[in-house]
Chain A
Amino acid sequence: MNKTYLIFKLEFLQTIKKVGFIVLTFIVPVLALLAIGVFELVTTLTEPSVKEVTTVGYVDEVGIFSDQTDQGLIKLIPFASREDATRALVRRDVSEYIVIPSDYIFSRTIQRYTLAKELITPAITANLIESFLTWNLLKDNVSPEIITSIVFPLNLEVTRLNENGDIAQEQGNIGNIIIPAMFSLLLSLALMLGTNSLISGLGEEKESRLIEVLLSSVSVRQLLIAKVLSLGTAGLLQVIVWLISAPLLLSLASSSFGGFLSDIQLPANFIVLGVVYFILGYLLFAVLSVTLGGISSSTTEAQSLSMFYIMMLFVPLWFFGVLVNFPNSPIWVVLSIFPVTAPVQIMLRLGASDIPAWQIMTSIGVLGLSIIVGLFFSIKIFRTFMLMYGKRPGLAEIIQGLKTA
């Protein structure tokens, strides 16, 4: 039987039996299911049978604010003086009260009193006060329809068209980025765990000299290719499990969290690109890890050094918020082509905006080339430095080693 396959088989089985891999692969979907269940349970238990009406007191020292006191679940109750309003608040007859001072028309200042500890005034309260004031200021001069338009001037409906001017199949929706973002986070965690797993396995083999026994049977090329492919296949298994469980989770989440999630549309090429980048990401990180494992004097040192590229993996996630607001910045193109950040960056961009085909092709090309060239050099580096126990070669030694290998 092919020796590369034999090593691949053992490495793959050892990887998928590790607790970290099992937790990330199988427990994450189960945890998501549990979270949905808990959300439903909590919602059912806490949802009041009759909707409560919140009462807000107000003291009108101007004398013109009397209309629009009933705003659905919030009612405004007038008080003759601040003292009356304060007593009502302390008795909790009202949840809060506002004072419209006599000089309001000039100062535009409203005083708000509440028992609650707040950092800022809740938006719902601010909107309520604003519409109440606007309505009453305009009621004698403008028709009710115009007042409503002034209070709620914008209901923006966006329709995305395709190149032919027809309505595009995939419409913009902030919710569309949720799945790619979650996928990117899981990919980052999976690559981090995979890197650690490979480095610790290689470290164990080096420290115990088992690597010498293996290399008395197989070549460095066979050993490293098997290790890299085993991690890539473990990644494929992981993404398959998630893709199988995703429709079920989405359907359950949609029925639990309401219409917001049911409107989510995945980009058409998300699944295909997700699988491609997941596997390429795994292969690239496996190549980086075996190279590092080859030159490091200990597992701990290799794990510390691996933090350089693991940190880079998370760069697109750090700037996720910026991506949502500025999806067309050139920085995203750079991060999409730079191999270490490409898998996560492309996934995030797929949810946020369109990615030109040339960028995807370049990104996949650079990533694939990096894996092949990286593997070529890692075999040379590993062969030269694998038996230098207890001493890590410097950059000059590595370059010299590459020349002579």
Chain B
Amino acid sequence: MTAVEVNHLYKSYADVTAVNDLTFSVDPGEILGLIGPNGAGKSSTIKIILDFMKPDSGEVKIFGQQMNEALKDQIGYLPEERGLYKRLTAIDLILYLASLKGMDKATAEKKANILLEQTGMLESKKKKNKEMSKGMGQLIQFIVTVIHDPELIILDEPFAGLDPVRTETIQNIIGNLRDEGKAIILSTHQMNKVEELCDRVLMINKGHTVLYGDLMETRAKFRRNSVQVVTDGELVDLPGVIDRKLNNGSVELFLAPDTTPQTILDQLRERGITIHRFEVTTPSLNEIFLNLAGVDHE
């Protein structure tokens, strides 16, 4: 069954349309990357999915149902900006929020210890939250998000402010959760993380869907007819090459519409040029994002 199904969603505030005819779905066992510039409507979309606010029109179904109290126990949510009850210890906060997800104390404690160990936080579990660094607090919140083994996980900028080691830890756990069949929505500005983790991507701008589909197919769709090469010899007078551009030691050769990369590779071989690198140019998600969103992003 589809984990999240969003159909023709609209939401506006005063004169601003935050979400404009948004339709997408998330299946179990996949990570959907939700990307877009600031103010694109990502947070509004997430808040409507979580039933924090009502849409002006459109429909959201979670596992085939309208949002209800029982469904909430199957959802894990990590908001973008994060805070904790300062006077509670890490373990007390985890157990409290786990109990609100319907977990009994013994099970929650056992699972908390496993996750604390995985994230390297076991020794800090009795620390009060006010004594923790921002990164430590974020790990605690991530644990809170997944401790009850939710079927749908919504993560809003889960890597923001984390050091590389903790980023990798969280990334591995997210990957494992996907492999276990959880449906995950990952909202982030870190395009490399979307490329590394996501199966599908939904890019929105000003509330509209700009791009939606399989990540590999999307990148292939935006592939330019060019190759990146690093060679020892001179690359002059190659038939089928209409332009060239130097890129950090490599040369990007732009091909004529009827020329294929194989044709260029064959020509280089025939000329006896030593080839160190030959790669069909595939645009990064970041390039696609900048191209489509048309704005700088953080």
A274 to B95 CA separation, bound complex (whole angstroms): 38
Contact of B79 among A6, A17, A209, A219 (CB under 8 A): A209
Chain A 1-34 interface residues, beta-carbon cutoff 8 Å to B:
1, 3, 6-7, 10, 14, 17
Task: Check A219–B83 contact: CB distance below 8 A.
Answer: no
Segment touching A, from B96-104, B180-188, B250-258, B284-292: B96-104
CB contacts (< 8 Å) of A7 on chain B: these are 100
Task: Check A219–B50 contact: CB distance below 8 A.
Answer: no
Check if B266 is an interface residue, CB within 8 A of chain A.
no
Which A residues are closer than 8 A to B by beta carbons? Answer: 1, 3, 6-7, 10, 14, 17, 204-205, 207-210, 212-219, 386-387
Check if B125 is an interface residue, CB within 8 A of chain A.
no
CB distance from B17 to the nearest CB of A (A): 17
The 4 closest A-B pairs by CB, nearest first: A208-B83, A217-B100, A216-B77, A209-B79
- Having A210-B84, A387-B53, one finds 6 other A-B pairs with CB under 8 Å, namely A7-B100, A208-B81, A212-B77, A212-B79, A213-B79, A214-B97
Q: What are 23 inter-chain pairs, A to B, with CB distance below 8 A?
A: A7-B100, A14-B87, A204-B85, A204-B86, A208-B82, A209-B79, A209-B80, A209-B83, A212-B79, A213-B79, A213-B97, A214-B97, A214-B100, A215-B50, A215-B52, A216-B72, A216-B75, A217-B72, A217-B101, A219-B69, A386-B52, A387-B52, A387-B53
CB contacts (< 8 Å) of A387 on chain B: these are 47, 52-53
Task: Check B84–A208 contact: CB distance below 8 A.
Answer: yes
CB distance from A201 to the nearest CB of B (A): 9
Check if B141 is an interface residue, CB within 8 A of chain A.
yes
CB contacts (< 8 Å) of A1 on chain B: these are 99
Task: Check B83–A207 contact: CB distance below 8 A.
Answer: yes
CB distance from B12 to the nearest CB of A (A): 13
Chain B 60-101 interface residues, beta-carbon cutoff 8 Å to A:
69, 72-73, 75-77, 79-87, 96-97, 99-101
Check if B144 is an interface residue, CB within 8 A of chain A.
yes
Question: Considering only CB atoms, which chain B residue lies closest to A217 in the complex?
Answer: B100
Task: Check A6–B96 contact: CB distance below 8 A.
Answer: yes
CB distance from A216 to the nearest CB of B (A): 4
Task: Check A218–B99 contact: CB distance below 8 A.
Answer: no
Question: Considering only CB atoms, which chain A residue lies closest to B154 in the complex?
Answer: A216
Chain B 139-177 interface residues, beta-carbon cutoff 8 Å to A:
141, 144
Task: Check B83–A218 contact: CB distance below 8 A.
Answer: no
A214 to B145 CA separation, bound complex (whole angstroms): 11
A17 to B128 CA separation, bound complex (whole angstroms): 15
A218 to B63 CA separation, bound complex (whole angstroms): 18
CB distance from A120 to the nearest CB of B (A): 55
Question: Considering only CB atoms, which chain B residue lies closest to A212 in the complex?
Answer: B79
A253 to B75 CA separation, bound complex (whole angstroms): 59
What per-residue 1/0 map shows which CB atoms of B42-56 lie under 8 Å from chain A?
000001001011000
CB contacts (< 8 Å) of B72 on chain A: these are 216-218
CB distance from A221 to the nearest CB of B (A): 10
CB contacts (< 8 Å) of B100 on chain A: these are 3, 6-7, 214, 217-218
Question: Considering only CB atoms, which chain A residue lies closest to B78 in the complex?
Answer: A213
Contact A213/B96 with A14-B87, A204-B83 known, Cβ cut-off 8 Å: no
Task: Check A216–B80 contact: CB distance below 8 A.
Answer: no
A3 to B70 CA separation, bound complex (whole angstroms): 12
Contact of B85 among A210, A218, A386 (CB under 8 A): A210
A214 to B75 CA separation, bound complex (whole angstroms): 12
Task: Check B52–A212 contact: CB distance below 8 A.
Answer: yes
Give the interface centre of A1, A10, A218 by most chain B CB atoms within 10 Å: A10
A143 to B104 CA separation, bound complex (whole angstroms): 93
A126 to B85 CA separation, bound complex (whole angstroms): 65
A6 to B93 CA separation, bound complex (whole angstroms): 12
Question: Considering only CB atoms, which chain A residue lies closest to B75 in the complex?
Answer: A216
A207 to B100 CA separation, bound complex (whole angstroms): 21
A10 to B92 CA separation, bound complex (whole angstroms): 10
Contact of A209 among B76, B82, B85 (CB under 8 A): B82
CB contacts (< 8 Å) of B75 on chain A: these are 216
CB contacts (< 8 Å) of B97 on chain A: these are 213-214, 217
A6 to B81 CA separation, bound complex (whole angstroms): 24
Question: Considering only CB atoms, which chain A residue lies closest to B100 in the complex?
Answer: A217
A207 to B83 CA separation, bound complex (whole angstroms): 8
Task: Check A213–B99 contact: CB distance below 8 A.
Answer: no
CB contacts (< 8 Å) of A14 on chain B: these are 85, 87
Question: Considering only CB atoms, which chain A residue lies closest to B83 in the complex?
Answer: A208
Question: Considering only CB atoms, which chain B residue lies closest to A384 in the complex?
Answer: B53
A219 to B82 CA separation, bound complex (whole angstroms): 20
Contact A213/B52 with A6-B96, A218-B72 known, Cβ cut-off 8 Å: no
Give the interface centre of A14, A212, A214 by most chain B CB atoms within 10 Å: A212
CB distance from A72 to the nearest CB of B (A): 63
A37 to B141 CA separation, bound complex (whole angstroms): 52
